[in-house]
Amino acid sequence: MLAMVYRQHASGEVEAADVPCPRPAAGQLLIRIRSCGVCRTDLHIVDGELPHPKSPVIPGHEIVGTVETLGSRDAGFAIGDRVGVPWLGRTCGACRYCLHGRENLCEAAHYTGYQIDGGYAEYTVADARYCFALPREYDDVHCAPLLCAGLIGYRAYRLVADAKTLGLYGFGAAAHIVAQVARFEGKRLFVFTRPGDHTAKEFARRLGAEWAGDSNQVPPALLEAAIIFAPVGDLVPVALRQTLRGGVVVCAGIHMSDIPSFPYDILWHERVVRSVANLTRDDAREFLRLAPRAGVETHTQTYPLVDANRALADLRQGRVSGAAVLVT
């Protein structure tokens, strides 16, 4: 099969390769891939910012496809079913995190497109227990961003779901989905983009943002919570300065540049800085039910599978409005 493969000696790129089509083991599905989202985490992998990826590895963890072969009869799916494969590829199921509903923190977890070959290919295999039936309201392309941008964004959003005024720093694939959920739930929404990015500001306003400005600007109202999707540590003290007493700043990426020191007075009064890690299967089931009910629309730019490097470059340079999606 055709696959776009990352090798650690490469610098920021994947290469086209003819590799054997995988075979499903017991409990796995062989999936014919229809689309795969291009996530900022993929960039962190190919740019060498995440340690110890499988090498070589096929990136991609926003996979939409159809079941081609079952590794066992009790896999829970049938041949021809449409399924989604997310970042969380498998967990141990036995540690204190897994046993208490926090499998996103499992120390033995393996991740799709990182330690497990992912979706920049024509086929993949996946553990059936970590695959999901997908909402019929979305076609293959528009469903792909729900599987990471949607799921990780939703987990971050759930941490501050009680906030009535919400700020989003960075307005890409995850933020444009979270914005729609927030507006559906009646939040006041304020969006911060890189200075001069007028396209992103206009996009945010179209999706219901009350205000959209540069990341260094002061919004017209203080925030009860902020979610930082941009992998920029400098934004943490910036966001803290815009929050009310008791406010929460969530760092929603798997990788972020160093957070600079900042004066204690902007953290005082019970403000909180916290991270969000990965997702649980419960997050996925809950969000995939909510997305069509909330009227979430994903905005996508499509690329042929062989143009994965162009998609990665466009994402790196901020040229993607919404989410980039590879199609086979």
| pLDDT band with cut points at 50, 70 and 90 for residue 9 | confident
**Do 125 and 138 share a domain, yes or no?**
yes
E strand or H helix at 89, and its extent? Answer: strand 88-90
Instruction: Tell me whether residue 117 is in a domain.
Output: yes
Question: How far, CA to CA in Å, does 167 sit from each of 192, 220, 228, 280?
Answer: 7, 11, 8, 24
Instruction: Tell me whether residue 258 is in a domain.
Output: yes
pLDDT at 60: 98
| Euclidean distance between CA atoms 108 and 113, whole angstroms | 16
| Euclidean distance between CA atoms 220 and 165, whole angstroms | 11
**Do 129 and 190 share a domain, yes or no?**
no
Give the count of beta carbons closer than 10 Å to the beta carbon of residue 128.
21
**Do 92 and 205 share a domain, yes or no?**
no
| pLDDT band with cut points at 50, 70 and 90 for residue 176 | very high
Average pLDDT over residues 183-200: 96
**Do 132 and 268 share a domain, yes or no?**
no
Query: Please, what is the average pLDDT of the chain?
Result: 96
pLDDT at 80: 97
Instruction: Tell me whether residue 203 is in a domain.
Output: yes
Count of domains observed in the chain: 2
pLDDT at 10: 67
**Do 17 and 131 share a domain, yes or no?**
yes
**Do 11 and 138 share a domain, yes or no?**
yes
Q: Are 114 and 45 in contact (CB under 8 A)?
A: yes
Instruction: Tell me whether residue 282 is in a domain.
Output: no
| Euclidean distance between CA atoms 24 and 13, whole angstroms | 28
CATH number of domain containing 309: 3.90.180.10
Q: Are 144 and 323 in contact (CB under 8 A)?
A: yes
**Do 68 and 128 share a domain, yes or no?**
yes
Instruction: Tell me whether residue 22 is in a domain.
Output: yes
pLDDT at 189: 98
| Euclidean distance between CA atoms 320 and 301, whole angstroms | 7
Kindly state the tokens that stand for 170.
């960075």
Kindly state the tokens that stand for 237.
């003290």
**Do 302 and 226 share a domain, yes or no?**
no
**Do 10 and 101 share a domain, yes or no?**
yes
| Euclidean distance between CA atoms 266 and 249, whole angstroms | 12
- pLDDT (tens digit, 9 = 90+) per residue, 62-120? 999 999 999 988 778 999 999 999 999 999 999 999 999 999 999 999 999 999 999 99
- pLDDT (tens digit, 9 = 90+) per residue, 245-303? 999 999 999 999 999 999 999 999 999 999 999 999 999 999 999 999 999 999 999 99
| Euclidean distance between CA atoms 168 and 161, whole angstroms | 13
- pLDDT (tens digit, 9 = 90+) per residue, 140-150? 999 999 999 99
CATH number of domain containing 251: 3.40.50.720
Instruction: Tell me whether residue 288 is in a domain.
Output: no
CA dihedral sign, ordered 12, 309, 36, 3: negative
| Euclidean distance between CA atoms 27 and 128, whole angstroms | 6
3-class DSSP assignment, residue 326: strand
Instruction: Tell me whether residue 281 is in a domain.
Output: no
Percent with pLDDT over 90 in the chain:
95
pLDDT at 185: 97
| pLDDT band with cut points at 50, 70 and 90 for residue 177 | very high
Where in the sequence is the domain holding 16, given as residue range(s)?
A: 2-147+298-327
**Do 184 and 86 share a domain, yes or no?**
no
**Do 130 and 213 share a domain, yes or no?**
no
Tell me if the bond preceding 260 is cis, omega within 30° of 0.
Answer: no
